[in-house]
């Protein structure tokens, strides 16, 4: 068995006894990447030199001190929209193909403080706009469960790298489901924290009121460890919340007796495939057997969530992406004059999905349409948030499917944007309301992973971790995916 599939506690125990070194773990990660990534395509850049330097420093620290960070020596993958000092950060776009940040994102600094080893940058849909990682300008990422299928998106590289055993954990970002949906497709755990729980400083913005950074891991306990390391107030992020960070590991009791679990009828209805519905219903029955009280609830405005999201998110993207003009950074295309240079740079630098969303967002914000579209969408967003608040007066958590189907085939939806957008129908409401949610594997349908989504109250990550962990402990783990099982 690969070192990267051992438990975090076992790895720390072996590090403490000097039986294992940070170098061993970094080399194992590089070996797995070399062996598997030609087929999976999770990495855009492997920072071998940086990883080995970091491992050498960690081994010196571990030899000199008894104390170690909570993520000591664990190889990690970083989604390529998180700034990494001195290491290319492309956001999966030609426009930023040559962009090398001069600073780290706060979460990258926090991973360093916790002792993790960044192995490189992971593929993604361009500027995080997509649900399949097919919108990357550079390469295709494949699902380790079936190389003919997508890994989900936009954090598809992050989910695929963890599922394939190339890294111990990865960071992704979630604007409308971009951590949870790929986690479901690839059979791993994906956690989207409450908006404001984790600093967004150094995350290249897509939609600033929706974006949130979170972990993708092999199991729920690892998700708690990573969340512990990256959470907290950051004065460099004006939207970072000054809310105390609890001890997430203490929430993993394995006990959910007496908790009230809401199941929205809208999440189990039309559009959810029979296989996904069956696995989620089995998971709900399991929660009931474990002592939870199950209650049917309703999110009446959730049917408007996709329409609301695809007005608000593109509007914010239109504003945020206006800075990419080829003048200050990124790839610059020549033109006869300044306006011509802007036109050439943006038309050649952005891919079709990004252009589609910029145009949609610009239209929604334009004079004469602002009130009819953008302002109305903001009002519906409030109604969606109020639906959740009303339900959380009666229940502790909400559960349902993470995605309406299992991973679809590469190329199946890429030419049909509306069908692709509907793939996020179950995750988008959570972002609009700013709530925390986790996707945990709940079995297979037609040989592919299904994700159970657990949604919590604002800043109550502890309870969703508790429920997800208890469920995980009480059920059989998924087998290692076919490609993830190859060991040299």
Is position 178 annotated as part of the catalytic site?
A: yes
154 as an active site residue: the answer is: yes
Strand partners, 220: none
Cite the DSSP H helix spans in 17-154: 22-40, 48-64, 106-113
CB atoms near residue 372 (< 10 Å): 11
Q: What is the CA angle 290-296-300, rounded to 5? A: 145
Catalytic residue chosen out of the listed positions 93, 132, 154, 318: 154
Please state, as a whole number, how many other Cβ atoms lie within 10 Å of the Cβ of residue 178: 37
Q: What share of the chain is helix, strand, coil (3-state, %, to 5)?
A: 45, 15, 40
298 counts as catalytic: no
Among the options 178, 231, 318, 462, which is catalytic? Answer: 178
3-state secondary structure of 295: strand
What is the per-residue DSSP string for 416-459?
-HHHHHGGGTTTHHHHHHT--EEEEEEEEETTEEEEEEEE-STT
Task: Give which of 101, 215, 117, 135 is closest to 461, Cα–Cα.
Answer: 215
Catalytic residue among 2, 21, 79, 240: 79
231-234, Cβ contacts within 8 angstroms, sequence gap of 24 or more: 231/193, 231/197, 231/198, 232/110, 232/198, 232/199, 233/199, 234/106, 234/199, 234/201
- Taking the C-alpha atoms of residue 166 and residue 36, their distance in angstroms, rounded to an integer, is 8
Residue 440 backbone phi and psi in degrees, to 5: -125, 140
The two three-digit tokens of residue 424, written as one number: 């996020």
Distances (CA, A) of 188 to 37, 236, 428, 440, 443: 18, 31, 19, 7, 11
State both tokens at 7.
């438990």
User: 3-state class of 171 per DSSP?
Assistant: strand
User: Where do runs of H (alpha helix) occur along 329-373?
Assistant: 338-349, 352-365
| Residues that are catalytic | 79, 154, 178
């Amino acid at each position: 068995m690969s070192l990267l599939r051992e438990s975090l506690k076992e790895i720390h125990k072996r590090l403490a006894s000097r039986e294992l070194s940070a170098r061993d773990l970094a080399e194992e990660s590089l070996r797995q990447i070399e062996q598997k990534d030609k087929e999976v395509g999770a990495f855009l850049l492997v920072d071998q030199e940086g990883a080995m330097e970091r491992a050498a420093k960690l081994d010196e620290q571990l030899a000199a001190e008894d104390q170690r960070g909570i993520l000591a020596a664990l190889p990690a993958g970083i989604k390529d929209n998180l700034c990494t000092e001195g290491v290319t950060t492309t956001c999966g776009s030609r426009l930023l193909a040559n962009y090398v940040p001069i600073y780290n994102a706060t979460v990258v600094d926090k991973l360093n403080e916790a002792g993790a080893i960044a192995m490189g940058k992971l593929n993604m849909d361009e500027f995080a706009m997509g649900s399949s990682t097919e919108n990357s300008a550079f390469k295709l990422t494949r699902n380790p469960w079936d190389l003919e299928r997508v890994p989900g998106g936009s954090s598809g590289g992050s989910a695929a790298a963890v599922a394939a055993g190339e890294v111990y954990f990865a960071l992704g970002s979630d604007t409308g489901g971009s951590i949870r949906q790929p986690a479901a497709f690839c059979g791993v755990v994906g956690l989207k924290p409450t908006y404001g729980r984790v600093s967004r400083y150094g995350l290249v913005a897509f939609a600033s009121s929706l974006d949130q950074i979170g972990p993708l891991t092999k199991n729920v306990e690892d998700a708690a460890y990573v969340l512990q390391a990256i959470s907290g107030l950051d004065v460099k992020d004006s939207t970072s919340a000054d809310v105390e960070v609890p001890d997430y590991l203490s929430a993993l009791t394995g006990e959910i007796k007496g908790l009230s679990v809401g199941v929205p009828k809208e999440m189990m209805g039309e559009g959810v495939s029979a296989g996904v519905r069956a696995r989620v219903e089995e998971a709900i029955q399991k929660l009931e057997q474990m002592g939870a009280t199950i209650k049917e609830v309703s999110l009446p405005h959730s049917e408007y969530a996709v329409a609301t999201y695809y007005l608000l998110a593109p509007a914010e993207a239109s504003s945020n992406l206006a800075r990419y003009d080829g003048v200050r950074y990124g790839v610059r295309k020549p033109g006869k004059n300044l306006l011509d240079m802007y036109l050439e740079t943006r038309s050649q630098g952005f891919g079709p999905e990004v252009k589609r969303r910029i145009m949609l967002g610009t239209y929604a914000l334009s004079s004469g349409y602002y009130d009819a579209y953008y302002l109305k969408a903001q009002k519906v967003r409030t109604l969606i948030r109020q639906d959740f608040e009303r339900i959380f007066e009666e229940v502790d958590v909400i559960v349902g499917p993470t995605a309406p189907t299992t991973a679809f085939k590469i190329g199946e939806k890429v030419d049909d944007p509306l069908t692709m957008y509907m793939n996020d129908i179950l995750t988008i409401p959570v972002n609009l309301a700013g709530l925390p949610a986790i996707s945990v594997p709940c079995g297979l349908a037609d040989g592919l992973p299904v994700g159970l989504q657990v949604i919590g109250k604002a800043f109550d990550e502890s309870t969703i971790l508790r429920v997800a962990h208890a469920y995980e402990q009480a059920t059989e783990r998924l087998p290692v995916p076919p490609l993830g099982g190859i060991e040299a």
